[in-house]
Amino acid sequence: MPTEPLRCAGALVVDDDGRIFVQRRSPQRVLFPDAWDIVGGHLEPGEGVEDALRREVTEETGWTVSHVLGPVGEYRWTGADGLDRVEVDFLVRVDGDLSRPRLEEGKHTEFRWLAERDIALLDEHRDVDDGLIRRIAEDAFAALRSIGL
């Protein structure tokens, strides 16, 4: 078992209306099954955070990161697999058809654009993520306000 935490990068994709993209993980996933999540994943060996961020956005949505707007936060958490992680999340803008993401088959089942007033949606299956995704989204909306978006 690794002694260092696994490193992750997360993207809070923002649209022109100030909403954040979320996607539902498939029920078969080990981590956060059937829960809403942001785009992101583990860094590959030798990969930097921003490179992982860009790769994950393309893999999970088919979009391309056009701008990294700024950091949201760093989160430490332990998954259902018992492994510790350090996740760094960023607000991003993307190029592509925002109404038609290409979800990763078998990994995600649906998507939504989440307005701040709809954040309670992230409490569904909160038991599997201990409220982590909601905390990240709350921090993202606060970061959006701080940069005037």
Q: What is the pLDDT along the chain (149 residues), one digit of tens a residue?
A: 557 899 999 999 999 999 999 999 999 998 899 999 999 999 999 999 999 999 999 999 999 999 999 999 999 999 889 899 999 999 999 999 999 999 998 999 999 999 999 999 999 988 877 889 999 999 999 999 998 87
Give the tokens for residue 28. 């078969």
In the block, which residue shows the tokens 């979009």? Answer: 63
Residue 78 lies in a domain: yes
The whole-number pLDDT of residue 45 equals 93
The whole-number pLDDT of residue 2 equals 55
Residue 32 lies in a domain: yes
The whole-number pLDDT of residue 84 equals 93
pLDDT in tens, 91-129: 999 999 999 999 998 999 999 999 999 999 999 988 877
Backbone angles phi, psi at 59, to 5 degrees: -60, -40
Residue 74 lies in a domain: yes
- For residue 126, give its domain range: 6-146
The whole-number pLDDT of residue 1 equals 53
Residue 59 lies in a domain: yes
CATH number of the domain to which 22 belongs: 3.90.79.10
C-alpha 26/C-alpha 45 separation (Å) is 26
Residue 1 lies in a domain: no
Residue 117 lies in a domain: yes
Is pTM, for the whole model, over 0.85? yes
What's the domain count of the chain?
Answer: 1
The whole-number pLDDT of residue 80 equals 86
C-alpha 44/C-alpha 34 separation (Å) is 25
Cβ contact 24:34 at 8 Å: yes
Give the tokens for residue 21. 């993209």
For the chain, percent of residues with pLDDT exceeding 90 = 85
Give the tokens for residue 89. 């999340």
C-alpha 146/C-alpha 73 separation (Å) is 13
Cβ contact 110:101 at 8 Å: no
Beta bridge partners of residue 93, listed in sequence order: 67
Residue 41 lies in a domain: yes
The identity of residue 129, as a single letter, is D
